[in-house]
Structure 1
């Protein structure tokens, strides 16, 4: 069981995440907090591509015609999802950028584009997108988790921990104890007392700075 899967099974959401390159997965919050409840990858929340082939941005613009606002944004989101499924990430980014031009208030669109930037290794751009997602919808924990991944990737361990502190149930002593035990396993000493204190935080920052575990 990965570190964050172990933690989030007792917390707000269940997460499985490869290292800082490759396919990035995050799992939807389980409102009941019950780890037995099945969860779906974040991509399941994206607009259905419906088996569409990846089209050029020019073709998508032509199809959109005079459509504006949310209707146009959804069209470009579907085109972006199709390109992402086809592995054409740069094209997918272009479609999501066009969607944002038509509707700047859709937090999920920024998050999806952010995930594409992260998959391309463009974590600075990913953080900017997650920043906007969080401003628009601060209650969505998964946006903070995704931002933590990209912040850690660019060496912003303190900021990554700030995000994780908003996501983990640090008032739950069992969650904190699991975190502390895992930090000890990785060579970062901290008492296992279930208290999230400054010492535990420093150990977590040091661990993230050294990329001591994979998300």
Structure 2
């Protein structure tokens, strides 16, 4: 199974069609998944969740999946190249040219590796800014049977998010690529703000 993931990218097959990539970042419980579903429906993007791709790989029972599972259990971040190869494979197989990449890059090293390997820079970064109290409340109230939704694990995930992801947001901010959304508001209001960003961006693209 490992060989399926080790896709060697021939002469930049990804760069030929230069897909549009938007990174979606926000703490656990900031509502990224819900808003990504809305963006897919309204703007025709393909939603790639780094976490979902990793979970699917674990489910497949491959050697790679076992390694990923062990790292997640220990609270470690999965090596960049593993996640990037899963993302690349999903991009190539989708047939679309517009992608929301959710929950990635998790840190500066992820970001640099993604750009170096894929030669893709994101169009922009959608950052769902939400207070820790609000995210905690949401995570504890959603009962999706995810074993990682207990208070200790939640706080650990916040800490990892803040320490790892903020440098990524700062980096893209310096390039004026961050679009910050107040994610503490009700879902409909948040999506109104999201729509404005995507509509103005697609207008710019067609100019």
Greater C-alpha radius of gyration: 1
User: One fold, TM greater than 0.5?
Assistant: no
